[in-house]
Amino acid sequence: MTRRSLFIAVVLGVLITASVTAAPFRIAVVMPSATTDMAFSQSMWSALQSIQKEMGGASALELKYSENMYKVPDAAAAVRDYASQGFDIVIAHGSQYGSSVQEIAKDFPDVTFAWGTDVNTFGLPNVYAYTAAAEQGGYVNGVIAAKVTKSRKIGVTGPVEVGDAKTYIDGFLQGVQSVDKSITISKTWTGSFSDVALMTAAAKTHIASGADVLTGSSQSVVGSIQAAIDKGSVLWFGTQADQASLASALVVASQVYDWTGMLRDMITKHKAGVLGGTQYTLTLANGGLKIAYNPSYKLPSSAKSAGDASIQGITKGTIKVEP
Amino acid sequence: MKNLFSLTVVSGILNTMVSLATPFLYAALGETIAQSSGVVNLGVDGVMLLSAFAAFYVALTTGSLWLGLLAAAIVGLLMGLLMSFVSVTLKAEQGVSGIGLYMFGLGMSSLLFKILIGTVKTVKGFPPVVIPLLGDIPIVGPILFRNSLPVYGAFLLVPLVWWLLEKTTLGLRIKSVGQNPAAADSLGISVDRIRYLSVCLGSTLAGIAGASLSICLLNLFQDDLTAGQGFIAVALVYFGGWNPVGVMGGALLFSVVNSMQLWMQVLGVKIPSSVAVMLPYLLTIAALTITVNRMRQPAALNKPFERGEN
Amino acid sequence: MAGVIVALAIGAIMLVVLKADPIAAYAALVRGAVGTRFGLTQTLVKATPLLLVGLGICIAFRANVINIGGEGQIIAGALMAAWFPLTFSSWPGWLLIPATMIAGFLAGSAWGFVPGILKARLRVNEILSTIMMNSIALQLMNLLLQGPLMDPEGVKARTFLAQSAQLPAQVWLPRLVPRTLLHAGAIVAVVLAVVVYIFLWRTTIGYNIRAVGLNPNASRYSGINVPTYQALSLTLAGGFAGLAGVLEVIGVQHRLLEGLTSGYGFTGIVAALLGSLHPLGLIPASILFGGLLVGADTMQRAVQVPSSLVVALLGLVVLFVSGSALWSRKWAARQRRIEDA
């Protein structure tokens, strides 16, 4: 008799404990470059990690990732694999993954697929699409850059003229010109997202031709930043991630992609049974884009207020930036 | 377009050319030695990557650039041993083993970078060393005589390698092994040993090429830092006709056009950026079609040697 | 196959150092390659471009020409596979598909022809010219994707993605297995392997190509124009690589986008050597190597090791397999036959 009730007690105890420790929420992410790229992929990975910390660690949010998935069929296999493993949300963090997501999402109606950077949810109920209005932060950076340049020459070191590299730089140019149309802006495109040596050479070329402010996009801009460090007096404006850690005295500001708000929203929606259908855009207004002023750089107050004014203007809609 | 030929611009172009050419010089001259003995090493890019990481990591943690350079040389040597073992002793198809070496170097450098460092950091690399008097010559001075030690080393290597290959017994042996291993073997020269030596020498120089990137010119490490420069270096060996001076010519040509296309973009010359980026590659091919290259390819290049077969 | 075991053993050590379970890892590798329905089809999807590129490499190698230009030739084919159907979008599928494949083959051939003719006429070494052509092709693709070929949808939505418009549906290759990426191109590749075998061993041109590779001096004396055949072999190699690019575009992605082509130009060389440079041997070799690549990715996901570990491991496998006695002996024997007068 006693043995039996003991047994029942144990079983009940186990069942109660099991139901109290809920299964963790599971997110998997597939990325085209390394999590350490100081740019696109790193921005998503660090956002996911901070959400994980917020939610209480790995027991509350399980994260899995696949990086360097620049071959699209491999990424498709990864997305499909994670979906079939029962992940709640699978993030395909690369604009080239679109057609893959479109196909795979149909086969896994219970899984949420988040895809970026693009605006297309394919009309599927379990797909979220996201993008970043990089031109907005570009504009703000451009305004500030126009205020701090002494040589009145600014250099732009770009990778390939596509995607948010293009939109960021388009916005930057508009920002500079809104302050002073006579400032010379020179642009280079290295034709690669990863060629650091060529990016460094490009930055040095801008500097040698007289530029004292530089900006650019992609993971290879670490080369441009290093060229600025070598010269010692060239200032840098960054995008996609906060790059102040690389050159604390020379980075003025960076546009930071903050995916956490969007991620929180997706998780909440998924838990409530809404698996997709929304298109997110990171903007200055919704806090997805932030301008991170580098505290180690003494920004003149006139420049800062000009920057803040343009943030206000874009947020309110009085300033329109079109890539 | 007339801007392009102003003094600032020309000296700027030449300055950048010298920096860009440095890693090519180390790697291509090293590969020249290896190929002169008959072994093609397509894995040069992988050697450069792993050595670049080693140099960076050691410099970052110990604060010593020279220890970093040493680390790069050692890594280059070890990878050379691996390549020699597979290609000379095991007689593998050199094109394939080279690709394997490349993948290994690429993967290991990224892996170690991720585990040991984790995020992009910078070091203070080799500083410029001004040669007194010469460095003050107008125009030419800053371009030629205000560079860092590894850059000087790259250019000094050209006459050194030429002297090695043309004027020393070792060089003679290397070339004979590359031209006619059977004959060399019958004269008592150990074909395998000479090939090991030249591949390792070449690979060590490739290691220094990697270090020149991570602790001298770029002063950082990131995934795939070389972005394929090792393959260009191998191509330059063919361009130079296995002659160190020709190889230098190729490295300088490629680098000067690359430097020039960047200046063209900066100065706003109306040319699509993709076309500008193509120019060094186009002009290198064009240069070859104009200068008739008498192919002095080592006759035994890419052929494993087995004694007693003839 | 002692070499493979050595490589895998070193890999196991690296896995343990990274706190991953080597047994679980290798089990995932096998499972990923052949253990699941999707994995098996993915292996075949990967094997298709490997086989095609490998066939081209095979033809070139038989003439003793090294084709490292696969990357550029694949891009040339892929560019044509985007431009052609978008331009002739009114053609019916039964016409458009073969026309696109032929056009892509020709585009790749052109990309192989340039180094070929440079070698034949001006004695420019093909390793040099093909490496240069690779970079030129990449920039050409950038140029077109940034401009005329950019997806109008992306321009309208102001996202400016680096991709072409989606190709008209009638040019999409039919899928062989539902809910997978396996497309009819796989069958085309296998058929072509047989065709290449017949070509090399049962036609005069094929015989001449092999003769040029085995004994250039004797070939010259018997009237075969060695440089012409070397150029021809490079041209054909380019065509097959270009076709690989076409199939990736119309079979897998249904549009051109960056990253479509990376790597096959090199991994195809490995596959060709694994297949002992024989078109029929290439079929199992490319499946094996494709399985290895697919399994490696599955392994990465299963034990969450950095992808770079997988790349390093594959490099070791390639190194040691290339050195394994079995077919390096064959290779050395073949080289010796070249020495024989």
Tens of pLDDT, residue by residue over A149-163, are: 999 999 999 999 988
The interface residues of chain C toward chain B in range 101-160, judged by CB-CB distance below 8 A, are: 118, 122-125, 127-129, 131-133, 135-136, 139-140, 142-143, 146-147
Tens of pLDDT, residue by residue over C282-305, are: 999 999 999 988 998 899 888 888
Establish if B133 belongs to a structural domain. Answer: no
Tens of pLDDT, residue by residue over A130-148, are: 999 999 999 999 999 999 9
State yes or no: cis peptide before C43, omega within 30 of 0: no
pLDDT band at A235 (very low <50, low <70, confident <90, very high): very high
Which residue of chain C has the CA closest to B180? C339
Domains of chain A: 13-132 (3.40.50.2300), 134-257+287-316 (3.40.50.2300)
The CA distance from A36 to the nearest CA of chain C, in Å, is 11
Establish if B295 belongs to a structural domain. Answer: no
pLDDT band at B309 (very low <50, low <70, confident <90, very high): very low
**CA separation, residue C119 to residues A150, C112, C211, C237 (Å):** 54, 11, 18, 15
State residue C306's pLDDT score.
87
Q: What's the average model confidence in pLDDT over C148-154?
A: 89
Q: For residues C244 and C105, is the Cβ–Cβ distance under 8 A? A: no
Question: Angle CA(A309)–CA(A130)–CA(C154) in degrees, nearest 5?
Answer: 90
Q: Rounded mean pLDDT of chain A?
A: 89
Q: Spell out the residues 6+ positions from residue C95 whose beta carbon is closer than 8 angstroms to its own.
A: none
State residue C125's pLDDT score.
85
Top pLDDT among C332 and B232 is at B232
Give the whole-angstrom CA distance, residue A247 versus residue B57.
19
Of the listed ranges A11-15, A250-254, B144-148, B287-291, the one predicted with least confidence? A11-15
pLDDT band at C341 (very low <50, low <70, confident <90, very high): very low
The CA distance from B112 to the nearest CA of chain A, in Å, is 12
State residue A4's pLDDT score.
73
Establish if B308 belongs to a structural domain. Answer: no
> Which residues in chain C are closer than 8 Å to A322, comparing Cβ atoms?
158
Check CB contact of C252 with chain B, cutoff 8 Å: no
Question: Angle CA(B44)–CA(A35)–CA(A24) in degrees, nearest 5?
Answer: 140
- Stated pTM of the model: 0.90
Establish if B307 belongs to a structural domain. Answer: no
Query: Which of B104, B281, B304 lies closest to C136 in CB terms?
Result: B281
> Which residues in chain B are closer than 8 Å to A202, comparing Cβ atoms?
262, 265-266
Q: What's the average model confidence in pLDDT over A189-217?
A: 93
Tens of pLDDT, residue by residue over C82-114, are: 999 999 999 998 999 999 999 999 999 999 999
Alpha helices in chain B (DSSP H): 7-36, 44-62, 65-84, 94-112, 140-145, 149-167, 169-179, 181-186, 191-212, 229-239, 244-266, 273-290
Neighbours of B77 (CB within 10 A): 18
At A323 the three-state DSSP class reads: coil
CA terminus-to-terminus distance, chain B? 61
Chain B residues touching chain A at CB-CB below 8 Å: 8-9, 12, 15-16, 19-20, 23, 110, 113-114, 118-122, 213, 217-220, 222-227, 229, 258-259, 262-263, 265-268, 273-274, 277
ipTM: 0.89
Check CB contact of C82 with chain A, cutoff 8 Å: no
Residue A242 has pLDDT above 90, yes or no: no
Give the whole-angstrom CA distance, residue A89 versus residue B83.
44
Using CB atoms within 10 Å of the CB of residue C129, give its burial: 0 to 12 exposed, 13 to 18 middle, 19+ buried: buried
Check CB contact of C336 with chain B, cutoff 8 Å: yes
Which residue of chain A has the CA closest to C308? A68
State residue C223's pLDDT score.
85
pLDDT band at B61 (very low <50, low <70, confident <90, very high): very high
Given a contact as 3+ CB pairs under 8 Å, which chains touch B? Answer: A, C
Which residue of chain A has the CA closest to C158? A323
Which residue of chain B has the CA closest to A202? B262
Residue A87 has pLDDT above 50, yes or no: yes
Q: Beginning with the edge strand found earlier in the chain, give each strand of the sheet holding A61-66 in spatial order.
A: A61-66, A25-30, A89-93, A112-116, A127-132, A279-282
Q: For residues A170 and A138, is the Cβ–Cβ distance under 8 A? A: yes
> Which residues in chain B are closer than 8 Å to A221, comparing Cβ atoms?
none
Give the whole-angstrom CA distance, residue C65 versus residue C220.
16
State residue C235's pLDDT score.
96
Which residue of chain B has the CA closest to C66? B95
**CATH code, domain with B176:** 1.10.3470
Question: Rounded to 5 degrees, what are φ and ψ at A22?
Answer: -70, 155
Establish if B138 belongs to a structural domain. Answer: no
The CA distance from A41 to the nearest CA of chain B, in Å, is 13
Give the whole-angstrom CA distance, residue A223 versus residue B220.
8
Strand partners, A27: A63, A89
Contact A205 B223 (CB under 8 A): no
Q: What's the average model confidence in pLDDT over B3-14?
A: 81
Task: Catalogue the E-assigned strands of chain C.
Answer: none
State residue A323's pLDDT score.
82
Q: In chain C, what percentage of residues exceed pLDDT 70?
A: 94
Q: In chain B, what percentage of residues exceed pLDDT 70?
A: 96
Tens of pLDDT, residue by residue over B181-228, are: 999 989 988 999 999 999 999 999 999 999 999 999 999 999 889 989
Given a contact as 3+ CB pairs under 8 Å, which chains touch A? Answer: B, C
Q: Rounded mean pLDDT of chain C?
A: 89
Q: Which domain holds residue B109?
A: 2-127+146-290
**Number of domains chain B contains:** 1
Query: Which of C166, C181, C298 lies closest to A73 in CB terms?
Result: C181
CA atoms within 13 A on the CB side of C251: 29
> Which residues in chain C are closer than 8 Å to B108, comparing Cβ atoms?
308, 312
Establish if B215 belongs to a structural domain. Answer: yes
Which residue of chain C has the CA closest to B92? C323
The CA distance from A4 to the nearest CA of chain C, in Å, is 39
CA terminus-to-terminus distance, chain C? 33
Query: Which of C66, C143, C335 lies closest to B95 in CB terms?
Result: C66
Establish if B25 belongs to a structural domain. Answer: yes
Contact A201 B227 (CB under 8 A): no
Interface contacts A/B by beta carbons within 8 Å: 113
Give the whole-angstrom CA distance, residue C314 versus residue A74.
16
State residue B310's pLDDT score.
38
> Which residues in chain C are closer than 8 Å to B182, comparing Cβ atoms?
339
Of the listed ranges A34-43, B37-46, B108-117, C254-263, the one predicted with least confidence? C254-263
Residue B123 has pLDDT above 60, yes or no: yes
Establish if B297 belongs to a structural domain. Answer: no
Contact B100 C129 (CB under 8 A): no
